[in-house]
Amino acid sequence: MTDTNNAPDDTQKDPLKSMSGSLATLSDNGQLTSGSGSASPMKSSVKLSESNGTLKLGKSPKPSRTMALHCHTTDDTVLSYNKFILYENKLRFYIVASNTSDSRHKIIKIDRTSQDELNVVEDDATYNGKQMSEMLKMIEDGNKASGGLGKARVLFGVIGFIRFTAGWYMIAISRRSVVALFGGHYVYHCEETDMIPVCSTHRIERPAEEQRLIGIFKQVDLSKNFYFSYTYDLTSTLQHNLTRPVPSHRIINDRYAWNHHLTTTPFEGKDDGSPPQKAWWLLPLIHGHVDQAKLTVLGRIVFVTLIARRSRHHAGARYLKRGVNDEGNVANEVETEQIVSETVTTPFYYPATRDTPTGSKKRRPSPNFTSYVQYRGSIPIYWTQELNSMSPKPPIEISVMDPFYTPASRHFDDLFARYGAPLMILNLIKRREPQPRESKLLEEYTQCVEYLNQFLPEDKKIVYRAWDMSRAYKEKTHDVISYLEDFAEESIQLTGFFHSGPEPYSHFLKSEELAERTGTELPWRSTMSLQNGICRTNCVDCLDRTNAAQFVFGKRALGHQLYALGIVESPNLGFDSDAVNMLTEMYHDHGDTLAMQYTGSALVNRVETYRRMPHWNSHSRDIIENFRRFYTNSLLDADKQAAINLFLGVQDDRPIGRSSLPLKRGSYLNWFHQENLEPAYQLAECEQGIQQFVQTRGDFWIEYYRPLLFTSLGKHFVYCMNSTLKLPGKTAADINQSPFLPHHNVIHPPR
């Protein structure tokens, strides 16, 4: 069968297709051999030049007529380069980048003669297949003395460079897999990477130390929970990507780009250091979790996507990274985004109407995309837990008493700058204990918020909610889920959520009908909806209780998102329905993944625990996970922390990018920046930004639709995606059943 929108095929043959039939062929033994081009041989080789802070490819003063006439000098970043062929000889690397349809190519050169310096040359020009064949033929002829183009290998991107004691290594992605799709943009999981020495004569004076550092570096397993995309900025939220003005060059949120050190440090001292930020061939990696599933609603398909982004600041293992650092960065900081979209059309826009004048693009933003963002992070005060005994729960010590809460003020001011006001805090740590542990943090944290709140304007004060979730569960007199539903509804009403268009017109008709019958008129939103503000959730570890709370927030947000899309009649979703069961499993995987990254074990208490519906083997599983967590924290965390520090470029536990000078203390009273209290997203600006986005960044179909590719449904990502129809006990006959009907009469409405 012919598949028009299948996921990219990551077998070796896919990236090695001939570029217009002349660039490369795959031999029977799987080796890549360069094809013959039509350009005349050229003896002069490529040379290095620098201009305006960017590295460029200096070409021969006598280029061929074909190249001079037809070589493109501009690059549309929407048409991504997602396949890379690495040619290597003794003197240099040549990386040929190609798009999905093999119609556009670029070339990069990396010098291999110097062990101390990393010299990378980018060619600004864009070539078609025939032109690239001519270029490679020229390079082959001009470098015969050093082995020509040499052998080739297939890559799927470069994520940076690293140096230990001597010489540079290039870190490249050699295998990938598709994990999500929205708006025609694929999101990939990094399955395997290669560490390739750059210098061909790599001499190591201290081989033992080099191998030790390489071993530490490889403890950060790049094949687990690292994600990237060629066309979509995973480091930023959907709201930010769609509504911010389109920049002239790529700008990423380096807080969540875990390979930021690998892409910037090698280029420091070269002009302004800007090439890594703008380089299209250096892929930003996020560390966290990405999951996607689909709801089948009476034939309508709805995608539910979870994206968790772990911050690279103050990152590390459980007992070694607690609280806050001097810059206001907290431990275990994760931003979780829940995207719900209906797949009426694939892209982020509707096509132009028939009455649109010829030659003009008047696309309309698709109103089928929604997102809701949550935040978790350690309590922003100075506190530690010393793991120097056999106690599974070491005592909590507040190491520094700052009466002005300077690090916390920096932290909250940064949250205001990123998300805007209002800021809601849901603090779930214990209030009363036989031996005070968590309660010490509760008292200090409460005083911190009260102190900082007194200087904020009345309508911008931090909304602080402290609730002992553990005690409420143990007393069995409180419905934990109902309380969390109340907090979730309060937060969503405060901050809102992002919706790329107005409410469905059916809501307006129902509002008019209700007004005629009862005289009560419901408001109808005729514009897009924006999320301004964030809910910050924490417990002690920001794992078990926090994940259960974030699931309830996600469930409540899912109801509002589906209602905004016109799929359900009420935002109140009952438990034990197919939709909520699927979301529960997604948040279980989300929590297990984040817990493994921070503590080395999965979640101990899950959502079913707080619903008082535990599985029969949950108690034994919790005991095993507790033992695993204790073993990992006691014996393995030191090595894990050393690996993370080396990977992120942290030295002597100093904050990333901090100089030797002490931080400048801000004002004790005006601890915030006044402009940060304004809404982070203004409606007029965002409407203009999304219009600009759909007009200039929407030409995705050249990369997404591949009608000439012969494939099968087994390789179709959307077809193989988890869905409500694939839950246990489901059959094809259930396609006519609503996934929102509860199987049991167990509903936890807001109180």
Structural tokens at position 5: 């929108």
Q: What pTM did the predictor assign?
A: 0.87
By the 8 A CB rule, do 503 and 524 touch? yes
Grade residue 638 by pLDDT with cuts at 50, 70 and 90.
confident
3-state secondary structure 535-549: EEEECCCCCHHHHHH
Find the range with the poorest average confidence among 37-46, 284-293, 487-496, 652-661: 37-46
d(CA 182, CA 205): 49
Which residue reads 């985004």 in tokens? 337
Q: What percent of the chain has pLDDT over 70?
A: 79
pLDDT in tens, 431-488: 988 888 889 999 999 999 999 999 999 999 999 999 999 898 888 777 899 999 999 9
| pLDDT surpassing 90 at residue 720 | no
Distance between CA 519 and CA 512 in Å, rounded?
Answer: 9
* Strand 384-385 to 396-397 pairing: antiparallel
φ, ψ (nearest 5 deg) of residue 206? -125, 80
**Gap between the Cα atoms of 35 and 322, Å rounded:** 56
Nearest to 644, CA basis, from 603, 600, 682: 600
How far is it, in rounded angstroms, from Cα 694 to Cα 232? 14
Q: Rounded to an integer, what distance in angstroms lies between the CA atom of residue 590 and that of residue 334?
A: 11
AA identity, residue 556: R
Q: Is 264 left (phi over 0), alpha (psi -120 to 50) or beta?
A: alpha
Structure tokens at 497: 């959520």
* Region at 71 (left for phi over 0; alpha for psi -120 to 50; beta for the rest): beta
* Residue 632 pLDDT grade (very low, low, confident, very high; cuts 50, 70, 90): low
Token pair 């994990």 is found at 179
Give the pLDDT score at 3: 42
User: Is the pLDDT at 29 greater than 50, yes or no?
Assistant: no
Comparing 170 with 610, which gets the higher pLDDT? 170
Assess contact for 683 and 528: CB atoms under 8 A. Answer: yes
pLDDT in tens, 79-117: 578 889 999 888 889 999 998 878 889 999 999 998 888
